[in-house]
A and B are shown apart, each in its own frame.
Chain A
Amino acid sequence: MTADPLVRVTGLRKAFGAHRVLDGLALEVRAGEAVALLGANGAGKTTLLKILATLMRPTRGTVLVAGHDCAREPERVRPHVGLIGHGSHVYEDLTALENLKFWTALAGLRAAPAELAGALAAVELDRLAGERVRTFSAGMKRRLSLARFVLARPRVLLLDEPFAGLDQRAKKWLEEHLEAFKARGGAMVMATHSFGRELAVADRIAILSGGAIVLDTPRASLGPDAIARLYRLHTEEGA
């Protein structure tokens, strides 16, 4: 792990009108580290991910990703960030290979056919490269979404409910890939509602409530029941 965190958030506030979704939030994530964000619906998990991804601007505070300010220099942040949100960012009428080709070209990357095929093989979609995405399951679309990052190699992955809607096999596959990403020195911030196996990839658990992180603790020593207890203790949902 390096000394400088890849994600550094200080005094973050995000308000929609008079409603403050995030208020005074602070977070640091280092290379090779994954943080799972837990919180009730509307706690601001997705808002935080969108701010880190430069899709939203903070109202106040500093958000640095890979040393660049998300609000002032979003274009410098973007090459370092990969977002897997609720949408898979794939075109249904294009094939898996065509989707990958498009997003790679749009990102300004040059990828040889062998590299594109390799990226699809890495997400186990090589046999379906010529199939239209319209025929894919949710898990396959998410894998295709991940294939973009095999080529783009972002340093920070932002994941919003990455395991939602996946079967056991797809969950295991995703877990292994996220572990491999961490092992290569990537940092991850993952929003989730799950207390179970999905948290295995996380090194820390951060509970978001009242617009700030009220608990940030290592996950290793905590089982699902302990996490659920902590969650109830610290959130309005459990109050």
Chain B
Amino acid sequence: MIFARRAWSVVWKDLLVERRSKETLNALAFFSLLLLFVFQFALGPDRERLAAALPGLLWLGFVLAGLLGLGRTFVLERENDCWEGLILAPGDKSAIYVGKLAANVTLMLVVEGLILLLFAVFFNVDLAPALTGLALVMILGTVGLAAVGTLFAAMTAQVRARELLFPVLLLPVQVPVLLGTVKATEAVLLGEPLGAVGHWLGLLAAADVIYIVTGLLTFDFLLES
């Protein structure tokens, strides 16, 4: 109960600060818009090329926006040495990890929703029939991305070359998640039933569980060191 209350306090604080400052959301929304302009120019009006590239492009957009957002997870904590306050707070530090992860997932899903909407508008694609399947893949993929991203953001928060180190560490670990999400998205957009991509969804769920458990077990050590 105390663990949940502590985790919730971190979610509440992070989302409240973001709602007021809008630092990450504004930057990510603008970045998503730019990305779509680039994709639009690169692909042109060819519908067949678009259909083949759409799942990859969608996740490229999600991952790039995610990298920017996740990398900022602990920027807030550097202000007024709040990082020290987190370390000194008595109790299990993994509650902070869960809170940060939940806040990151929420923020990323908001941005991904926006990217999805912009994709539909820019490329004139009807995503409505695939929305349920797409939502499931997005949630599973985002949790996997955020679980490792939150952990690595903590690891690199006090490092000088964190902007460089963070994606270099994160992307190789994300290979199973990226593979699963792109393949599952491709199938869902082609109108295949969710059962047909069950093995990819299973892979994503397994990766999520492994990444979250790793985060829970190692976050305390990372924060302290």
Contacts and interface: CB of A to CB of B under 8 A. Distances in A.
Contacts of B6: 105-106, 108
Nearest to A86: B81
Contacts of B12: 102
A79 B17 contact: no
Tell me the interface secondary structure of chain B in the complex.
helix
B80 A89 contact: yes
B88 A81 contact: yes
B129 to A, nearest CB: 41
A54 B84 CA distance: 10
A94 B16 contact: yes
B85 interface: yes
- Give the interface residue-count category, chain A: 20 to 34
B52 interface: no
A92 B79 contact: yes
Given A92-B79, A93-B20, A85 B84 contact: yes
A98 B15 CA distance: 13
A54 B9 CA distance: 23
A55, A74, A91, A107 — which one has the most chain B CB atoms within 10 A of its CB?
A: A91
A93 B84 contact: no
A78 B93 CA distance: 13
Contact of B9 (A79, A81, A92, A105): A105
Interface string B1-33: 010011011101100110011000000000000
Nearest to B12: A102
Contacts of A194: none
A78 B80 contact: no
A235 interface: no
A83 B89 CA distance: 11
Of B10, B13, B76, B90, the most chain A CB neighbours within 10 A belong to B90
A92 B89 contact: no
A6 interface: no
B89 A106 contact: yes
A83 B9 contact: no
Given A102-B13, A106-B96, 8 more contacts: A74-B224, A86-B81, A91-B80, A93-B16, A93-B21, A106-B10, A106-B86, A106-B89
Interface of A: 53-55, 74-75, 78-79, 81, 83, 85-94, 98, 101-103, 105-108, 132, 141
The 10 closest A-B pairs by CB, nearest first: A87-B81, A105-B9, A89-B85, A78-B90, A79-B90, A87-B80, A106-B89, A93-B20, A93-B17, A102-B13
